[in-house]
Amino acid sequence: MKLSFEKSDLISGINIVLKAVPAKSPMPILECILIDASAGDIRLTGNDTEIGIETTVEGEILEPGRIALDAKLFSDIVRRMPDDRIYIDSEDSENVRIHCGKANFNISGHQGDDFVMLPEMERNNYICISEFALKEVIGQTIFSIAPGESSSSNPMMSGELFSINGGRLKVVSLDGHRISIRNIDLRDTYGETEVIVPGKTLSEIRSILPGEQDKDVYLYFAKNQIMFEFGSTIVISRLIEGEYFHVDQMISNDYETKITLNRQEFLAAIERSTLLIRESDKKPIIFDIKDGNMEITMNSVIGSMHEEVAVEKSGSDLTIGFNPHFLIDALRVISDEEVSIYLINSKAPCFIRDDEDHYNYMILPINFSR
């Protein structure tokens, strides 16, 4: 095998597939990147058997072949090469030469046939969505996925529900303290499909997806796998098996108090309150809601903060406390100038939602004492 690349093209491809390479694995071959130039183009692949990524890289095939190289070593060598054309050639897996200008490396690799290839997937059941919309909806919900230690008792919390019904995609995440729901109108109409996609997969998709408005992503669904195809890249991931939470039963349209206020002003006030919270503190931010005005209070061992924000209120006066970071996460991903918040009482969750049903964020309150 003998190949040549522009350094920037090769680094770009390596950065994409590295997302699927484990740092440590009982199978050394999984710590490798496969370079496959046996079929007329050059493809790089990483695969940890839970998520696999393959991307096509611009380059010149001087002699076809394929080889698997230790991902970290290969990546580090390429990054430190001069800004010139990079050549990779090998007679066999034991002697791989990577050279650029006057810099030469000789390393050993693995036979390409030993690499765990990505599974083949049928392309019958799918949806199409713009790169921008998919990247946006992941960013608008992924913060509500439970961290690893919190989701060990219920793996559903480590993923997101993707529910397709006709021309609408519904994405849901929850962590036991909050629920994030986003609805997207699709350009076409599709059959009903529900899958639970691991949060790790979605995080990697978000990091490598260009996010262009005029380019599309195809999502293909199989029994226990999902494939994302965009540009010259495909990502295949296992799905989380099981039945997702009955979220509709947790969402209420009832309320005793509704406030509407400027989103940016509200967000800025909450962010100021967190200046008084140490990382280990779990101090709530307290809202005292009255006609035309909401008092915001934060008390901690560092100090206290008080601020007033103008609101439009209908219904009863209410005093309620929340984890300020949960509110910040939701408000940062809403683009509306004004937001409406629906509340029942100091013990019941609040709902931040719009009239068009594009988003709905549920946040549980925190008990507090003055």
Whether 31 maps to a domain, the answer reads: yes
**Location of structure tokens 């509306």:** 336
The confidence band for 113, taking pLDDT boundaries of 50, 70 and 90, is very high
φ, ψ of residue 143 in degrees (nearest 5): -70, -15
Residues 98 and 132 in one domain: no
pLDDT, residue 150, reads 57
Residues 92 and 10 in one domain: yes
Q: What SS3 class is residue 102?
A: coil
Residues 263 and 317 in one domain: yes
> pLDDT (tens digit, 9 = 90+) per residue, 7-52?
999 999 999 999 999 988 889 999 999 999 999 999 999 999 999 9
Residues 280 and 178 in one domain: no
Model pTM score = 0.93
The confidence band for 93, taking pLDDT boundaries of 50, 70 and 90, is confident
| CA–CA gap between residue 290 and residue 308 (Å, rounded) | 11
Residues 306 and 237 in one domain: no
Which of 198, 214, 249 is at the close of a domain? Answer: 249
Domain that holds residue 339: 257-363
pLDDT, residue 94, reads 84
Percentage of the residues of the chain whose pLDDT score is greater than 90: 91
Residues 242 and 194 in one domain: yes
Residues 158 and 240 in one domain: yes
Whether 303 maps to a domain, the answer reads: yes
Which of 249, 275, 290 is at the close of a domain? Answer: 249
Residues 222 and 177 in one domain: yes
CATH number assigned to the domain comprising residue 262: 3.10.150.10
The confidence band for 91, taking pLDDT boundaries of 50, 70 and 90, is confident
Whether 370 maps to a domain, the answer reads: no
Query: Average per-residue pLDDT in the chain?
Result: 95
Which of 249, 268, 289 is at the close of a domain? Answer: 249
Residues 227 and 296 in one domain: no
How many structural domains is the chain composed of?
3
Secondary structure string (H, E, C) spanning the chain: CEEEEEHHHHHHHHHHHHHHCCCCCCCHHHHEEEEECCCCCEEEEEECCCEEEEEEECCEEEECCEEEEEHHHHHHHHHCCCCCEEEEEEEECCEEEEEECCEEEEECCEEHHHCCCCCCCCCCCEEEEEHHHHHHHHHCCHHHCCCHHHHCCCHHHHEEEEEEEEEEEEEEEECCCEEEEEEEEEEEEEEEEEEEEEHHHHHHHHHHCCCCCCCEEEEEECCCEEEEEECCEEEEEECCCCCCCCHHHCCCCCCCEEEEEEHHHHHHHHHHHHHHCCCCCCCCEEEEEECCEEEEEEECCCCEEEEEEECEEEECCEEEEECHHHHHHHHHCCCCCEEEEEECCCCCCEEEECCCCCEEEEECCCCCCC
> pLDDT (tens digit, 9 = 90+) per residue, 219-238?
999 989 999 999 999 999 99
Mean pLDDT calculated for residue range 242-264: 95
Whether 368 maps to a domain, the answer reads: no
Whether 119 maps to a domain, the answer reads: no
How far does the chain reach from its first CA to its final CA, in angstroms? 72
Find all residues with CB under 8 Å of 209, minimum gap 6, and list them.
131, 134, 135, 217, 230
The confidence band for 151, taking pLDDT boundaries of 50, 70 and 90, is low
The confidence band for 153, taking pLDDT boundaries of 50, 70 and 90, is low
Residues 138 and 89 in one domain: no
> pLDDT (tens digit, 9 = 90+) per residue, 356-366?
999 999 999 99
Residues 99 and 144 in one domain: no
Residues 312 and 291 in one domain: yes
> pLDDT (tens digit, 9 = 90+) per residue, 288-341?
999 999 999 999 888 999 999 999 999 999 999 999 999 999 999 999 999 999
φ, ψ of residue 157 in degrees (nearest 5): -70, -10
Q: What is the dihedral of CA 101, 106, 110, 111, to 10 degrees?
A: 70
The DSSP-derived string for 197-262 is EEHHHHHHHHHH----TT-EEEEEE-SSEEEEEETTEEEEEEPPPSPPP-GGGT-----SEEEEEE
| CA–CA gap between residue 100 and residue 24 (Å, rounded) | 29
